[in-house]
Homo-oligomer: A and B are copies of this chain.
């Protein structure tokens, strides 16, 4: 008998029929002898409806009240799911974020989970009840309602799992698990049985949007093992856990791609302190999200900075950089290139295996794919290539590292 925390997102509880399905899934776990705490989101579409109403009343609705407004969405979904559970003979009770003891700090609409006081959940578990907890919400020490921002329900589930010492936290979603690559791009991609927190974090940062990074970071910090699996079938998903020795035998866990990237290169920058800060500061102020940064000194003794960003940010970054360049002496110039893609290989095995980069570059070379920028971290290598070659690049690298099914 295990204690399972299950998280269901807004799509999974998006209609009366789907709520009934979730109730039946939970009943199945109960019949296997497990205890269940379900953490759920508002019904799909509800949050947008509420935001729409608020925006009719104010262009910038006060955030304190947005939290009161939006948290009502989960209050409805937990009540409805609990009604459905009781109707099919599963004794269940609901708990709002407050009742579940989810204590937050930080700002309205983007609260941080500070602590969980699971006294109420523990009491109901001791009575052998199923508990349905409102995700995405908590309260401050002063009793004000907070919502947790994007991906907040995942965070709630992982925090609750940690507080009640669950055996496993299942994140039930519309994907089957984490794959070695996007199966729509790499046909031979395989579902991973397990992956480490750090690997998932690196994959998440390059576009594999299984979960928000902060939920994974929270799980890592508190050592919460969780499983990403489908709410539509019974297949096992991917376990996300602390790394262990056996994981290191795999060099590369997965490859990931990002499209619609652009590169900005600034040449002829005097090699004096403070120049990089000035350039990056101007881009930050213009709200340009910079991804890769490559910088070196050219043969003329001047510095040369290259950045990648989403193509949508290219225009804004050129506007932001214009006054900065005007301040520099006449040699500074800006070059831009759109239509590039980014390919990343991620794996903790990289730490103990040498020659990973060489193998990656070789594979790309053999396929006549030219590499632009390169950047590396401890467990990730990223390169830019022409966008039209990005899919082929993913396939050859996937194959080269023996990831093909």
Q: Is the CB of B84 within 8 A of A58?
A: yes
Report which of B16, B65, B82 forms a contact with A86, defined as CB distance below 8 A: B65
A-B complex: 3 closest residue pairs judged by Cβ atoms:
A69-B79, A58-B87, A68-B79
Q: Is the CB of A50 within 8 A of B65?
A: no
Instruction: Looking at the assembled complex, report how far the CB atom of A74 sits from the nearest CB atom of chain B, in whole angstroms.
Output: 9
Residue on B with the closest CB to A58? B87
What is the CA–CA distance of A86 and B68 in the complex, to the nearest angstrom? 15
Q: Is the CB of A65 within 8 A of B87?
A: no
What is the CA–CA distance of A76 and B50 in the complex, to the nearest angstrom? 8
Residue on B with the closest CB to A17? B56
* A369 CB–B CB distance under 8 Å: no
Residue on B with the closest CB to A55? B83
Q: A68-B75, A79-B72 are in contact. Are A143 and B84 (CB under 8 A)?
A: no
Number of copies of this protein chain within its complex:
2
Residues of B within 8 A of A58 (CB): 83-84, 86-87
Instruction: Looking at the assembled complex, report how far the CB atom of A11 sits from the nearest CB atom of chain B, in whole angstroms.
Output: 17
> Which residue numbers of A lie inside 8 Å of B, CB to CB?
16, 19-20, 50, 53-54, 56-58, 61-62, 64-66, 68-69, 71-73, 75-76, 78-80, 82-84, 86-87, 93-94, 96, 98-99, 120, 143, 145
Q: Is the CB of A96 within 8 A of B68?
A: yes
Most interface-central of A73, A79, A87, A145 (chain B CB within 10 A): A79
Return 13 A-B CB contacts under 8 Å, by A number.
A50-B76, A54-B79, A57-B80, A61-B87, A62-B86, A64-B93, A64-B94, A68-B96, A69-B75, A69-B79, A69-B80, A72-B72, A99-B143
Residues of B within 8 A of A72 (CB): 72-73, 75-76, 79
Residues of B within 8 A of A80 (CB): 53-54, 57, 65, 69
Q: Is the CB of A82 within 8 A of B56?
A: no
What is the CA–CA distance of A206 and B20 in the complex, to the nearest angstrom? 45
Q: Is the CB of B96 within 8 A of A57?
A: no
Q: Is the CB of A19 within 8 A of B57?
A: yes
Instruction: Looking at the assembled complex, report how far the CB atom of A99 sits from the nearest CB atom of chain B, in whole angstroms.
Output: 6
